[in-house]
A and B are shown apart, each in its own frame.
Chain A
């Protein structure tokens, strides 16, 4: 069952990637008006049209592109920051640990999405503002997690043993500590991408995310919300793809955690 969910989710995410890359070109462009508003799904517009008569299929695909791009790039930057902060705090001198961790704790004082809204509100909505705001909220939880892992790995006897063989600190960190974090990082990254995609959709839903006419799942949900009593389908599609994406990322994250256990990875 676990294996089925994992591989089903991997297939879903692979299809989503293809959808994001090729979807906007298949029939209509995402900005092209193909007919009157709110056409039902048809041979021409597979999922119908939106409030301006644009192809929902194409706009969903473009929204996937936006979501994945923001999710992956924000989490990549977040992991890099978290690795530097977490390794510095976990492996470095006690004073460095105190400085870095108190700063990280300070970041937790702000509720995630409110901090992002504040940042976008100050800078003004744009792709880079959203990217920056989400990167700021992404790193602290990962930094704390990595710091705790590094701290416990540092005390492992194989680290002391390597030091006794004449290994320097860089060797220990890069050869004996960070490789042990790969599984955890990839698992956490998946869950974190899901969180960031959700946060980006929330910002777009509130109208301060990616700006129109660029489509985003969040803004599509927001506009479709106004006509949900007469036509539920334009609301259903973005909600469905958003939920499935979040679920799939979480399942893959869980699966990766199991798969990176050294004992199973070794095939023994």
Chain B
């Protein structure tokens, strides 16, 4: 196995709030190989974005460590951007409305003093399929798809070996969604970069990812190959997520909704964190936090896994 591009070891990140701390990321561990795509799925508020911010060094860890190309994240961030890029969810919000597109794409190059940024800007604009004449436009003068292409170009400008995608298609129309997904896939074939793809849209995840991690309340409850997890989920939460995803076959009837809400993240839960909503919960789940079970290259936390 090649050296992983990203190693996350028992990462923990907590926000201080009045009345305690929200443990947004609470003991996450995984590796990501060069050129591989790992999708992270889960409900809103499960800690997906905090995990991405921690990898970028924008959110300090309260425990564990994150290594990018073997070097720990933290302290001086200036060099990290050359190793990790990010495509944000909403390109309209992540581009400075007063900056012309060409300047926005050139920003990382200027920040890292890459000489002659003009050529590189042309290069990445071409790579993401943007017309050169768009360089002089402002973000509000572009279509949603063009804006997201600009965001991708900007993330790729420094040619980072790892690209984080934080729900890159969530803010886009369905028709444009496919374009961006294909673009990301083509870019990966050409450049060989690894993706950490954060989403709650299981359909796009299945299209783009090699492996998938299911996150619940700050922890990966199940992680494994995309086909195995999607066809044969072991954790009851994964099962529930798959059941609630709308598909053509289920058109016309409401999806099976998971009962209850995500518990208040301020509370420290004894035992399994999913037990309040779990259909398979038993006495043991109330007291004992399930250890990771490893099984044919997949890992899950459950005392009574789905067969």
Interface residues of A (CB under 8 A from B): 156-158, 160-168, 171, 176, 179-180, 262-263, 266, 268
Contact = CB atoms under 8 A, between A and B. Distances in A.
A165 B111 contact: yes
B190 to A, nearest CB: 22
B71 interface: no
Contact of B90 (A157, A167, A179): A157
B77 to A, nearest CB: 6
Contact of B94 (A161, A167, A171, A266): A161
B147 to A, nearest CB: 12
B183 interface: no
Given A160-B58, A161-B88, A164-B86, A266 B96 contact: no
A158 B93 CA distance: 6
A158 B94 contact: yes
The A interface is mostly helix, strand or loop, or mixed, namely: helix
A166 B111 contact: yes
A63 B225 CA distance: 81
Contacts of B96: 158, 162, 176
A166 B90 contact: no
Contacts of A163: 58, 77
Contacts of A167: 107, 111
A179 B154 contact: no
Contacts of A262: 97-98, 138, 140
Residue of A165, A167, A176, A179 most packed against chain B (CB within 10 A):
A165
A163 B138 CA distance: 20
A165 B56 CA distance: 9
Residue of A161, A162, A268 most packed against chain B (CB within 10 A):
A161
Contact of B112 (A161, A162, A166, A266): A166
Contact of A157 (B81, B93, B111): B93
Given A161-B88, A162-B96, A268 B77 contact: no
Contacts, number: 59
A268 B58 contact: no
Nearest to B82: A166
Interface string B92-104: 0111111000000
B108 interface: yes
Nearest to A156: B93
Q: Which A-B residue pairs are the 6 nearest by beta carbons?
A: A166-B81, A157-B93, A161-B94, A165-B108, A158-B96, A266-B138
B79 interface: yes
Given A266-B140, A268-B141, A164 B56 contact: yes
* Interface size grouping (class) on chain B: 20 to 34
B141 A158 contact: no
A179 B98 contact: yes
Nearest to A158: B96
A166 B94 CA distance: 14
A244 B32 CA distance: 69
A98 to B, nearest CB: 17
Contacts of B86: 161, 164
B78 interface: yes
A157 B88 contact: yes
Contacts of A165: 81, 107-108, 111, 154, 158
A91 to B, nearest CB: 16
B245 interface: no
B208 interface: no
A160 B96 CA distance: 11
B176 interface: no
B80 interface: yes
14 contacts: A157-B94, A158-B95, A158-B97, A160-B94, A161-B95, A163-B58, A164-B86, A165-B111, A165-B154, A166-B78, A166-B80, A166-B112, A266-B140, A268-B138
Contacts of A158: 93-97
Contacts of A164: 56, 58, 81, 86
Contacts of B79: 166
A262 B80 CA distance: 32
Nearest to B109: A165
A20 B306 CA distance: 86
Contacts of A156: 93
